[in-house]
Chain A
Amino acid sequence: MARSLSAGDLLFLFAVSALLCVSVGFQSDELLLDDEEFGLEGGVPTKSPDLTYTRSSSPPAQPQPTTTTSRRRFSDQDTDSKIQFELHHAFGDSDFSPAGTFSARLKTWSHGGQTLTKLRFSRNAFTEEEKEEFSLLLKGDDFYSIRLPSSVANPPGRDYVISSVKARCLLREGLDEHFVIHTDGVNILAVNYGSPGACPYPRQLRLPSKWSFNSHTVLKNSEQAPRAPVFSEEVFGGEGVEGEVVPPQERSFWAKYWMYLIPLGLIVMNAVTQAMNMAEEQVGAPSAAGQAQQPAAIQRGSSSSVRRR
């Protein structure tokens, strides 16, 4: 429900942007710096389930000049600020060290709320030491951990949010990682880190062919729960009762009386077969006696004539 709605919104947005900008070159992996670009994105009036999907690969894409258009009216009442926060990583029991930078827009709404949008991620390439440590993790099937500050406004907030994955799960061609960042305004509740696909259980030991990360990032906000259905009084009292409760009473004849009909049918069938048997017995018995009696033959003749008729 929520998903389809947001998809609808996105479609709408896409249509609007297509109308407004002549150069349609919107690319998902470009690092966008223009403030106006995001005014539209934030123009969605609901705080919840807008789901930003960004994809960043290392090295990050070069900033491209973008065409400015007249979309200021959307962002007039809202102020944006650019924000950066660091991703830290740890190998097994080692201490956390910087591993990359997230940059995002912090959108402040007129009603006071703040939302994180337009997340971009640039990952530092592994140094030789880190590669070695990572290889050790792969051999030992140990954990590769990452952490993010729990508040982006004043990091690290109350604490860091940590997530770990068995290092072997990240391995594809290179290293594939998938971040799901659960946010609530400026706070990061949790980050779910792992491989973008499956990680079948007997984890095989392989070494990556190339040491570059392919990162996927998803920003998630809380969904709105469905409301309890509210029926207005007259619908419930008038149609609701008569229209719904009465029809089940009107079951078909068969549904109502099948339990009587089946035995009845059986009895009838039984009686019929018996009657047939009786008839055949009476027919068959004389023939077995060697056609000694005339009346029986007459009877048979009459019965066959009846049947023919």
Chain B
Amino acid sequence: MATTSMAVRAFLLLLLVFLSLANLTLSLYEDQVGLVDWHQQYIGKVKDAVFHTQKSGRKRVVVSTEENVIASLDLRHGEIFWRHVLGSNDVVDGIDIALGKYVITLSSEGSILRAWNLPDGQMVWQSFIDGSGASKSLLTVPTNLIVNKENLILVFGKGSLHAVSGIDGEVLWTKDFAAESLEVKHIIQPVGSEAIYVLGFVGSSQFDAYQINPKNGEILKHNSAALSGGYSGEAILASSDILVTLDASRSKLVGISFQDGELNLQQTSISNILGDSSGTPVLLSSKLPGMFSVKLDGGVTLIKVTVEAKLEVMDKISSVVAISDAIPLTEGQQAFALVQHGDGKIHLTVKLSHDLSGDLLKESIVMDNQRGMVHKVFINSYIRTDRSNGFRALIVMEDHSLLLLQQGAIVWSREDGLASIVDVLTSELPVEKEGVSVAKVEENLFEWLKGHLLKLKGTLMLASADDVAAIQERRLKSSEKSKLTRDHNGFRKLLIVLTKAGKLFALHTGYGQVVWSLLLPNLRKSECEFPTGLNIYQWQVPHHHAMDEDPSILIVGRCGQSSDAPGVLSIVDAYTGTEINSMDLVHSISQVIPLPFTDTTEQRLHLLIDGNQHAYLYPRTSEAIDIFQREFSNIYWYSVETKNGIIKGHVLKSNCIQEVVDNYCFESRDIWSIVFPSDSEKIIATVTRKPNEVVHTQAKVIAAEEDLMYKYISKNLLFVATVAPKGSGAIGTATPEESWLTVYLIDTVTGRILHRMTHHGAQGPVHAVFSENWVVYHYFNLRAHRYEMSVIEIYDQSRADNKDVWKLILGKHNLTSPISSYSRPEVVTKSQSYFFTYSVKAIDVTLTAKGITSKQLLVGTIGDQVLALDKRFLDPRRSVNPTPAEKEEGIIPLTDSLPIIPQSYVTHALRVEGLRGIVTVPAKLESTTLVFVYGVDLFFTQLAPSRTYDSLTDDFSYALLLITIVALIAAIFVTWILSEKKELREKWR
């Protein structure tokens, strides 16, 4: 048995080597697109939306999002018409529509102004806004401000006001306010007024109003007034001549009327109008005509502002979560929407701004409670068939999803929370249960036969165009792919993703459909401020009871922005998405260490390290502590203090010394430390091996020298890259002489530096991947002005003498002796550098079930694509003229740069916009690995780095095989009969 499996393995290896020699690259035929891969496009949480309802043509809405996306969405179906993903450092500050045909966006803290063509999203012009200071930015597109036949766009950015022509983006004039250190809050051009008003605050106690001539930017009038009670930072324009603000103590509302050239301040105590309350009032930023809204104790009060800046309470509405801006209706009326929550529904009310008593529209919509609260609402009106006003509302939910409501129903919804994935984990699907009905099998058989007949037709070139289409349809939509059960090859899995909004999604690998989703309840509690989901881990993976127990996952989160905020844990069933257990911790979480031990229920032990280097054991059961105590002295971990440039190693010491006895809390002590000199080195990257990686063989045969080398395979290796502090900025800020990159390989148990190497004239950012006994990292070479990728391979010399066959036979080798980190390692490293054309966003390596298949590096390029690069290109043993023996081994002749073969793009023609991470998961089939790429978009595919040598492809024609066999058998019979007859005849002769 063992020998046969060995033989099979050897055969597979041979086959593999042969196949990979035959073809280095891996590519896709056109009709294979979408067969195993899927691509989903998202935009992220909507920040701002501008409706655009042209009389003719399709109805659209233009949105800007927190993922820095500008997109035009179809109002009927929610599809993306066009989309632009700006870089992560190009945050969109403002969006508006100008001239009825351009979308104007202001980004990068008010320094870039762009105009996009509304129908197709082509960029029309782009202007760079210069300025001396740094300030908040503001974009105002006045509706009818025409100066010298040009529509003006007013932009405040970099401390100055700019008037930009709407037609070509030319800056017409600039007025600098940087000297006054004015924090501009509003720029308005009141109807009927010639002048532009710039309103802002200087410091926290002075209000300034400037009247500016729109033709040349000259200041016509400047008024300023002292604010006796200070200023809270919130200011809202209640009407065209009155600005309302809260004083610093948030106890008084200050109305400032500015239009008549005079500044009039009216102070009103909040308790006078709203009554006594303990909560802090907040001014809502919704733009309502002649009104403003104050949020206090969960309720919203609408307050009307009279001409004399007197305040009158109009209405108090409880449990309001969002108010939209007012939109103009016909006959000078304006309407706005407010959203309330109640018993599993959301209530959308549209009111006229001058008459709050009546409702224009009141709708209740049943809402999935996994979407949470409404965060934002934008409304748009349309004319119904009966000539009355209809309204549609675009709402943004707590889980970042986007929905369109119309006529009391959800017209469409988009799961845009998936644009901001924080962490990814995979889970197996349930095992298929027995008991499938006969009818189903028969139907399946018929379908199966039909399908294969079609395929056969295709193979024999007999298929008509319709048949070809049917074949393609069948291939893309095979029901096999989306089944919710485990498959034999391990291709079907659940991708469990945690988003920034604190929501979990389980995506099926078949088509990427959402199987379940869960907005984590313990991150939504009112006492949890600034909830952040951090990571997900496998909590329990049942193998023994796989049929009747579900696996569960652990979600680690934190309440608060700082790292010492208390943590929250939540345990969720991976099949159903229900929360099994949740815990609010008293301690913070700085590190989570999944231990390699499980208890009898196959729950994995986790060690959580808090900010004070205390270790806490989870689950908190006596059984867990028993297992833990047994391994107490063998648990080591390390921590990286990037800010201080120190890496420390820790061990457990004893139980915590606290007032309350906690058996699950342990003190730690430092056993080693590495202190990087602060004047010459700064940590920029640390990478370890993946804990689930399988290494097939420890030995590497070097055929050319008839030699054997042992890979130094240790789970405790850490790769650290440091750069000179001067070189830690952007590329180009440092000269080659003052910038260097040092890389380390560190054993994390003893703190031993196994390898240390300096690249002079190199600079970060460094992206690295660690697998088996090698590290590949990517950085910038300042001398060569190119990016480079380097490889380090590390080999164990202490076992190098075990090459003698006799030694192995007689058992005189040290291969089976346990390896201790405390032995002095004898290692050799080999390294080599190659130029690489692209800058890199992420880098990963393919993982397979047994680690036999050769590896490919997956490089997320700057163009948001994923390039598969064979590891053999990054072999330190490549030489200019490899000997025939080396060639046979698969060594590629040395080149100075790594090849980029267009066919080896895993993402083929697609782009994963805003690419942030690549996750690889082994399938059960050794040749295949599953790749999930996430960013703003999601992409999933299967890869076979050495081709699918262990399975037949999907389009393999079983029917053809069957027919061939039948034909052969028939032929055998025919010839047999013929020969019988002939023999008979011979005998008769």
Q: Which A residues form the contact surface with B (CB < 8 A)?
A: 48, 93, 141, 143, 145, 150-151, 157-166, 169, 178, 180, 182, 184-185, 187-190, 192, 194-202, 220, 222-231, 236, 244
| B894 nearest CB neighbor, chain A only | A229
Instruction: Give Cα A163–Cα B781 distance, bound, in whole angstroms.
Output: 34
Interface pair A190/B833, CB less than 8 Å apart: no
Known: A159-B673, A189-B675, A231-B896. A199 touches B742 (CB 8 A): no
- Do the beta carbons of B674 and A190 come within 8 Å of each other? yes
Contact of B833 among A48, A151, A198, A225 (CB under 8 A): A225
Q: Which of A143, A169, A190 contacts B671 (CB 8 A)?
A: A143
| Given A222-B756, A225-B759, CB of A198 within 8 Å of CB of B823 | yes
Among B669, B881, B894, the residue within 8 A (CB) of A93 is B669
Quick one: which of B752, B757, B832 contacts A222, CB cutoff 8 A? B757
Please state if A223 and B671 are interface contacts (CB–CB under 8 Å).
Answer: no
- Kindly list 12 other residue pairs between chains A and B, CB separation below 8 angstroms, not including A166-B822, A194-B822, A223-B756: A151-B677, A161-B674, A164-B750, A182-B756, A184-B677, A185-B680, A189-B676, A192-B753, A198-B820, A222-B757, A229-B880, A229-B896
- Among B820-845, those with CB < 8 Å from A are 820, 822-824, 831-835
Q: How far is the CA of A137 from the CA of B759 in the complex (A)?
A: 42
Please list 15 pairs of residues, one from A and one from B, whose beta carbons are closer than 8 Å in the complex, sorted by A's number.
A145-B671, A150-B677, A180-B753, A194-B822, A195-B822, A198-B820, A198-B824, A222-B742, A223-B756, A224-B758, A225-B790, A225-B833, A226-B832, A230-B896, A244-B881
Q: Is B784 an interface residue (CB 8 A)?
A: yes
| Nearest 7 interchain pairs by C-beta | A187-B677, A201-B818, A164-B671, A198-B823, A228-B833, A199-B822, A150-B675
Within the complex, the shortest CB–CB distance from A87 to chain B, in Å, comes to: 15
Residue of B nearest to A220 (CB): B756
Q: Could you tell me if A225 and B824 are in contact, using CB atoms closer than 8 angstroms?
A: no
A195 in contact with B824 (CB, 8 Å): yes
A231: nearest chain-B partner, CB-CB: B896
Q: Are B788 and A228 in contact (CB under 8 A)?
A: yes
Tell me the nearest residue of chain B to A229, going by C-beta.
B896
Q: Is the CB of B674 within 8 A of A189?
A: yes
Minimum CB–CB distance for B935 against chain A, Å: 29
Name the one of B646, B680, B834 contacting A228, with C-beta atoms under 8 angstroms.
B834
Q: Shortest Cβ distance from A172 into chain B, in angstroms?
A: 13
CB of B886 to closest CB in A, whole Å: 13
Q: Chain A residue with minimal CB distance to B670?
A: A162
Give B640-678 as 1s and 0s: 1 = Cβ < 8 Å from A's Cβ atoms. Answer: 000010100001010000000000000001111111111
Q: Report yes or no: A190 in contact with B818, Cβ–Cβ below 8 A.
A: no
B881 contacts which chain A residues (CB < 8 A)?
A: 244
- Scoring B651, B752, B893 by chain A CB atoms within 10 A of each residue's CB, the highest score goes to B752
In the bound complex, what is the Cα–Cα distance between A160 and B671 (angstroms)? Answer: 12
- Verify A200–B817 contact, CB threshold 8 A: yes
Q: Is B716 an interface residue (CB 8 A)?
A: no
B483 interface hit (Cβ, 8 Å): no
| Interface core residue of B752, B818, B824 (most chain A CB under 10 Å) | B824
Q: Are A225 and B674 in contact (CB under 8 A)?
A: no
Q: Which residues of chain A are near B753, meaning CB under 8 Å?
A: 180, 182, 189-190, 192, 220
Q: What's the least CB distance linking A63 to chain B, in Å?
A: 30
CA distance A162 to B675 in the complex (A): 9
**What residues of chain A lie closer than 8 Å to B673, measured between beta carbons?**
159-162, 190
Most chain-A CB neighbours within 10 Å: which of B759, B823, B835?
B823
CB contacts (< 8 Å) of B823 on chain A: these are 169, 194-195, 197-200
Known contacts A150-B675, A161-B673: A224-B822 contact under CB 8 Å: no
Check A184 against B896 for contact (C-beta < 8 Å): no
**Cβ-neighbour of A159 out of B646, B834, B893 (below 8 A):** B646
- Output the nearest chain B residue to A183 by Cβ-Cβ distance: B677
Check: B681 CB closer than 8 A to any chain A CB: yes
Contact B824 A159 (CB under 8 A): no
A190→B675 contact, CB < 8 A: yes
Contacts of A189 on B, CB cut-off 8 Å?
674-677, 753
In the complex, whether B751 has a CB less than 8 A from a CB of chain A is: yes
Contacts of A151 in B (CB 8 A): 677
In whole angstroms, what is the CA distance A194 to B753 when docked? 12
How far, in angstroms, from A201 to B749 measured CA to CA in the complex? 14
Contact (A197, B824) CB under 8 Å given A163-B751, A229-B894: yes
B798 adjacent to chain A (CB < 8 Å): yes
Tell yes or no: B3 within 8 A of A by CB: no
What separation, in Å, do the CA atoms of A220 and B674 have in the docked complex?
14
Within the complex, the shortest CB–CB distance from B745 to chain A, in Å, comes to: 12
A151 CA to B651 CA in the complex, in Å?
Answer: 26
Do A161 and B834 contact each other (CB < 8 Å), given the known contacts A184-B681, A199-B820, A223-B758?
A: no
Contact B781 A228 (CB under 8 A): yes
| CB of B737 to closest CB in A, whole Å | 11
Interface residues of B in 877-905 (CB under 8 A from A): 880-881, 893-897
Assembled-state Cα–Cα distance A185/B633 (Å): 36
A169, A185, A189: which has the most chain B beta carbons within 10 Å?
A: A189
Q: When the two chains form the complex, which single residue of A163, A180, A185, A196 contacts B672, counting CB atoms closer than 8 Å?
A: A163
Cβ B820 vs Cβ A201 within 8 A? yes
Chain B residues lying within 8 Å of A187, measured Cβ to Cβ, are 675, 677, 680
Distance in Å from the Cβ of A250 to the closest Cβ of chain B? 13
- The answer to whether B757 and A224 touch across the interface, beta carbons within 8 angstroms, is yes
CA distance A215 to B817 in the complex (A): 27
B726 in contact (CB, < 8 A)? no
Distance A222 CA – B758 CA, assembled complex (angstroms) = 6
B833 and A223: CB pair below 8 A? no
Q: Mark B928-951, 1 if CB is under 8 A from A, else 0.
A: 000000000000000000000000
Q: Does B760 contact A (CB under 8 A)?
A: yes
User: Would you call A224 and B760 a contact (CB within 8 A)?
Assistant: yes
Contact A223 B757 (CB under 8 A): yes
Query: Nearest-CB distance from B15 to chain A (Å)?
Result: 15
Q: How far is the CA of A244 from the CA of B818 in the complex (A)?
A: 46
- Scan residues 737-770 of chain B and give those whose CB is less than 8 A from a CB of chain A: 742-743, 750-753, 755-760
Closest residue of chain A to B881 (Cβ to Cβ) is A244
User: Closest chain B residue to A202 by CB distance?
Assistant: B818
**Residues of chain B lying within 8 A (CB to CB) of residue A229:** 834, 880, 894-896
B750:A192 contact, CB within 8 angstroms: yes
Whether the Cβ atoms of B835 and A228 lie closer than 8 Å is: yes
Of A166, A188, A194, A198, which is in contact with the most chain B CB atoms at under 10 Å from its CB?
A: A198
Asked if B671 contacts A228 (CB within 8 A), the reply is: no
B residues near A141, Cβ cutoff 8 Å: 633
Q: How far is the CA of A141 from the CA of B634 in the complex (A)?
A: 11
Contact A200 B651, CB 8 Å, known A161-B674, A190-B674, A226-B833: no
A220–B790 CA distance with the chains assembled, in angstroms: 22
A93 touches B653 (CB 8 A): yes
Contacts of A143 in B (CB 8 A): 651, 671
Q: B752 near A192 (CB under 8 angstroms)?
A: yes
Contact B674 A165 (CB under 8 A): no
B818 touches A200 (CB 8 A): yes
Residues in B neighbouring A230, C-beta threshold 8 A:
784, 896
A20 to chain B, nearest CB (A): 33
- B882 → A minimal CB distance (Å): 10
Residue from A150, A165, A231 within 8 A of B822 (CB atoms): A165
Contacts A192-B753, A195-B824, A200-B818 given; indicate if A158 touches B651 (C-beta within 8 A). no
Pair A225/B757 contact, Cβ less than 8 Å: yes
CA distance A109 to B790 in the complex (A): 31
Residues on A with C-beta less than 8 A from B760 are 224-225
Task: List chain B residues, Cβ under 8 A from A228.
Answer: 781, 784, 788, 832-835, 896-897
**Across the interface, which residues of A come within 8 angstroms of B644, CB to CB?**
158
Q: Which residues of A contact B757 (CB under 8 A)?
A: 222-225
- The digit string for B531-566, where 1 denotes a CB below 8 A from any CB of A, is 000000000000000000000000000000000000
Q: Are A190 and B751 in contact (CB under 8 A)?
A: yes
Contact partner of B758 (CB less than 8 A), chosen from A48, A93, A194, A195, is A48
With A and B bound together, what is the CA distance between A116 and B880 in angstroms? 38
A158 with B831: in contact, given A166-B822, A196-B824, A228-B788 (CB under 8 Å)?
no
Contact A165 B750 (CB under 8 A): yes
